């Protein structure tokens, strides 16, 4: 028996309900669809933690933006946004490891007004299973660029960060498909 007052607060939702509501708003893409969207100019945004990218590899051409700063980097009206986040009709495909966190992240981007934000069904695992390009992990490599800023709130006085402090690319910008 559950003690009184130990149940969920009135009006709260469990994560399964929150996830279902987020996904109901998205036009989710399978791995092939995500690759085609990337070829047509969508930003493919990898939100997996650095340790996961280092162990499993990276998607060529994907922007790496840690989940905890995603909204600040992609909000077109924000002072901490990346240069690519310059309009609300920007197509964005969010990639996590298995396709759960990316659904929540894409819904948050839609809340910012990025109405074309979506995610990859099955995440990086589905991308790799589809035989799509993966830059293999290089355990001996050391990162010379600064890490993605780790913060959960916008700065008190917004400052533009150097692009390498905001995101990393798995290939040079000129080689990224448009």
Average pLDDT over residues 132-150: 59
**10 occurs within a structural domain:** no
Alpha carbon separation from 92 to 79, 85, 147, 149, 155 (Å, rounded): 19, 10, 22, 20, 24
Query: Which one, of 97, 92, 122, lies nearest residue 107 by Cα?
Result: 92
β-pair type (43-46, 117-119): unpaired
Q: What is the 3-state secondary structure (H, E, C) of 79-128?
A: CCCCCCCCCCCCCEEEECCCCCHHHHHHHHHHHCCCCCEEEECCHHHHHH
Task: Inform me whether the pLDDT recorded for 61 exceeds 80.
Answer: yes
**3 occurs within a structural domain:** no
Look at residue 82 in the predicted model and tell me its pLDDT.
96
Task: Inform me whether the pLDDT recorded for 147 exceeds 70.
Answer: no
**7 occurs within a structural domain:** no
Average pLDDT over residues 1-16: 85
Task: Inform me whether the pLDDT recorded for 3 exceeds 60.
Answer: yes
At 155, the pLDDT band (50, 70, 90 cuts) reads very low
CATH number of the domain to which 85 belongs? 3.40.250.10
What residue numbers bound the domain in which 96 lies? Answer: 28-136+146-151+163-168
pTM summary value: 0.77
Query: Which one, of 118, 159, 116, 141, lies nearest residue 58 by Cα?
Result: 141
**62 occurs within a structural domain:** yes
| Count of structural domains, the chain | 1
> What gap in Å lies between CA 161 and CA 171, rounded to an integer?
20
**39 occurs within a structural domain:** yes
Look at residue 171 in the predicted model and tell me its pLDDT.
43
- Tell me the backbone φ, ψ of residue 135, rounded to 5 degrees: -75, 120
Task: Inform me whether the pLDDT recorded for 24 exceeds 90.
Answer: yes
**104 occurs within a structural domain:** yes
- The percentage of residues in the chain with a pLDDT greater than 70, rounded to a whole number, is 76
First-to-last alpha carbon distance for the chain, in angstroms, is 58
Q: Which carries the bigger pLDDT value, residue 149 or residue 129?
A: 129
pLDDT tens, residue by residue, 29-56: 999 999 999 999 999 999 999 999 999 9
pLDDT tens, residue by residue, 85-103: 999 999 999 999 999 999 9
**41 occurs within a structural domain:** yes
> What gap in Å lies between CA 168 and CA 61, rounded to an integer?
10
């Amino acid at each position: 028996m559950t003690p009184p007052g130990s149940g969920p607060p009135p009006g709260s939702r469990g994560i399964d309900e929150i996830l279902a509501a987020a996904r109901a708003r998205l036009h989710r893409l399978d791995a092939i669809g995500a690759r085609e969207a990337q070829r047509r100019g969508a930003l493919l945004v990898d939100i997996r933690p650095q340790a996961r990218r280092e162990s499993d590899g990276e998607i060529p051409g994907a922007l790496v933006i840690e989940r905890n700063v995603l909204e600040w980097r992609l909000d077109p009206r924000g002072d901490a946004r990346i240069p690519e986040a310059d309009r609300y009709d920007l197509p964005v495909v969010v990639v996590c490891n298995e396709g759960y966190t990316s659904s929540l992240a894409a819904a948050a981007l839609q809340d910012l007004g990025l109405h074309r934000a979506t995610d990859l069904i099955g995440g990086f695992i589905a991308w790799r299973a589809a035989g799509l390009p993966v830059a293999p992990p290089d355990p001996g490599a050391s990162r010379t660029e600064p890490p993605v800023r780790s913060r959960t709130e916008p700065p008190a006085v917004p400052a533009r960060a150097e692009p390498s402090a905001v995101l990393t690319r798995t290939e040079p910008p000129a080689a990224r498909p448009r």
